[in-house]
Structure 1
Amino acid sequence: MSRPLLYSGVLSLSLLLAGCALPIDSTDSHPVLGADEFTLRMDQLEADLAARCELQQVALSDHSRRQEVLVADVREVGSLLRHLRADVERLERVESEPLVITQECVADELGLANKEVVGRSEWIGLPDVGTYLKARIDSGANTSSLSAQDITRFERDGANWVRFRLGLTQDDVVVDDVREEWIEAPVERRVRIVQASGEESRPVVSLMMTLGPIRESVEFTLNDRTHLNYPVLLGRRFLMDIAVIDVAETYLHERPEFPGGRPADEAAMDEDDRDDEER
């Protein structure tokens, strides 16, 4: 069907409907549109309708975009609420349950996991000498000290050596066979000690020492400690990198056993805890 005929049909139908709705007044005159004017009017109506449809489509697209943003915001809020609820539940569990901090975790954080714990007093062993002795652990002292008497300097193969006996009293617990034995060792160095009575130079020797699972070569200054309660003092140079002190404990490690000495299970009878001060 051609476009003019379609327009004519629409016009006729409109006039017919108008005639049904309104009374016919033969006295009124109605302008009659020509074919060109009608075509122009229809083109204008079609253009207006297309423009309105385009505006409506733009508005619909904008509405869809806003709806998508709103849905994303709602999902984000829901995720935040779920995380917040989980945090609240976790906090409630923490408040209701006792906080347990294991010693291993603390040791790891402080870098102490690979260090041996020792008490403020311990049994040590001197394998090269063949005896055990009581030792006081003192981080305030730099170098360890061993009680010695009759210290005699001599030279061997061009090197400085010392010969000495252990400085012990009758109260000191030791393998009796070594009380009067001479011990010889090369001098590693000498240290200068300043005291109220004046300056003193002491030799330093290196002896193998055991303390529980620890087996190390330890430097000892040699001096007479018979006026003190412990024949051995272990200082910072020994503790460094291998041990830490638990000052609330004593004799955490078993007494080593040597030929001629008493068994380790009898060590408790010989253990006491006194400050390393004059007897």
Structure 2
Amino acid sequence: MPTRYLLLSFIAGAGLLAGCAQAPLSSQDDRLDTLATTAELDTMLSGMERRLARQCTNNDHGGALAAQEARLDEIGGEVGEIGSMLRSLRTEIRGLSSETSAPQQECPTSDVAALENKTLLGRNEWVGFPNIGTYLKARIDSGANTGSISAREITEFEREGDDWVRFKLAVDEEDIVVDEARDKWIEAEVTRRVRIIQASGEESRPVITLLMRLGPIKQNVDFTLNDRSHLDFPVLLGRRFMMDIALIDVAQTYLHERPEYPGGEPAEKAAEDEAIDRKDDKE
């Protein structure tokens, strides 16, 4: 109770200081006597306490809000810093992803399958010509483009509007050939012409296509016609023939069996004729 009376005295004093119109002293004494009852005092003081409590509460909320705002500002700064870190990390991840997704260079591998599909040839091989009926020795030369077959008495003529050629094999007594083919006339259509440039001058040679057999290979091959009787091999095979179908092992010779034709020697006797070339290589 004493606290409430003190509050009442404080309110009365505040009224006097505010310059409020004052009732006569006798009236105030009467009013104080009337207010002095316990019930009225309790009611008045309770109302004042509630108002003060609400004010205090409002003041506390304001302080709490200020504290929360300050904390939110602090959290906002932390979130901004974390966001900056996340953006930097995202940039690094993109860089790593681009490096990972970049096409990797494959290590070179040997194409074993492609090699297995090609026929291995020595630097010298036996070749057969079914339409002529003979076998001949051939030099394999990847430096030459088109193959060549030794020919003599080359005569060009026209047949039904197309260019043809007639010739005989230019072979000497030392060349290994079926005897019946030595003086046999051979006719073939001219498929094209090639220009040959040599130290002695320039010439144009006809190109024909002949069916040829070499080991497991049997196909049509282009040959220029030229007298090779002064050379060791009446046939030269160039890279146009070998392309995509054959490889050369220059350390070996006659890897494939000599074809057989009527009037010729059996294949098993070819070793004697091959030995001549091996002897010349050693010399």
Task: Tell me the TM-score normalised to structure 2 length.
Answer: 0.59
**Contact in 2 for aligned 1:141/1:236 (Cα 8 Å):** yes
**Contact in 2 for aligned 1:119/1:137 (Cα 8 Å):** yes
Alignment CA distance shift 1:191-1:249 (3 Å): same
Give the equivalent residue in structure 2 for 1:3.
none
In the TM superposition, what are the counterparts of 1:248-263 in structure 2 within 5 Å? 248-263=251-266
In the TM superposition, what are the counterparts of 1:221-240 in structure 2 within 5 Å? 221-240=224-243
Q: Give the secondary-structure state (helix, strand or coil) at the position aligned to 1:273.
A: helix
Q: CA RMSD in A?
A: 1.9
Q: Give the secondary-structure state (helix, strand or coil) at the position aligned to 1:160.
A: strand
Give the equivalent residue in structure 2 for 1:75.
none
1:123-180 Cα shifts (integer Å, max 9, x gaps): 0000010000000000000000000000000010110000000010110000001100
**Contact in 2 for aligned 1:166/1:180 (Cα 8 Å):** yes
Amino acid at match of 1:119: G
**Contact in 2 for aligned 1:118/1:245 (Cα 8 Å):** yes
- 1:178 corresponds to 2:181: yes
Pick one of 268, 272, 277 that aligns with 1:273. 277
1:273: how far off? 2.8
CA distance in 1, matches of 2:209, 2:119: 21
Alignment CA distance shift 1:243-1:160 (3 Å): same
Task: Write out the 4+ residue segments of structure 1 that deviate beyond 4 Å after TM superposition.
Answer: 274-277
Alignment CA distance shift 1:274-1:150 (3 Å): farther
Pick one of 194, 197, 200 that aligns with 1:194. 197
Give the equivalent residue in structure 2 for 1:164.
167
1:106: how far off? 5.1
CA distance in 2, matches of 1:190, 1:112: 33
CA distance in 1, matches of 2:167, 2:126: 22
Give the equivalent residue in structure 1 for 2:135.
132
Give the equivalent residue in structure 2 for 1:212.
215
1:275: how far off? 11
CA distance in 2, matches of 1:210, 1:181: 19
1:274: how far off? 6.7
CA distance in 1, matches of 2:131, 2:259: 13
1:193: how far off? 0.4
1:27-51 Cα shifts (integer Å, max 9, x gaps): xxxxxxxxxxxxxxxxxxxxxxxxx
CA distance in 2, matches of 1:125, 1:107: 31
In the TM superposition, what are the counterparts of 1:60-75 in structure 2 within 5 Å? none
Q: Relative to total residues, which structure has the larger helix share, 1 or 2?
A: 2
CA distance in 2, matches of 1:276, 1:240: 29
Give the equivalent residue in structure 1 for 2:145.
142
CA distance in 1, matches of 2:280, 2:243: 21
Alignment CA distance shift 1:247-1:107 (3 Å): farther
CA distance in 1, matches of 2:143, 2:280: 12
CA distance in 2, matches of 1:183, 1:195: 27
- 1:108 corresponds to 2:117: no
Amino acid at match of 1:128: N
CA distance in 2, matches of 1:127, 1:107: 34
Task: Tell me the TM-score normalised to structure 1 length.
Answer: 0.59
**Contact in 2 for aligned 1:143/1:219 (Cα 8 Å):** yes
CA distance in 2, matches of 1:250, 1:184: 31
Length, aligned pairs only? 172
Q: Give the secondary-structure state (helix, strand or coil) at the position aligned to 1:168.
A: coil
**Contact in 2 for aligned 1:124/1:256 (Cα 8 Å):** yes
CA distance in 1, matches of 2:194, 2:260: 32
1:90-148 Cα shifts (integer Å, max 9, x gaps): xxxxxxxxxxxxxxx95517x31200001000000000100000000000000000000
**Contact in 2 for aligned 1:191/1:201 (Cα 8 Å):** yes
Q: Give the secondary-structure state (helix, strand or coil) at the position aligned to 2:176.
A: coil
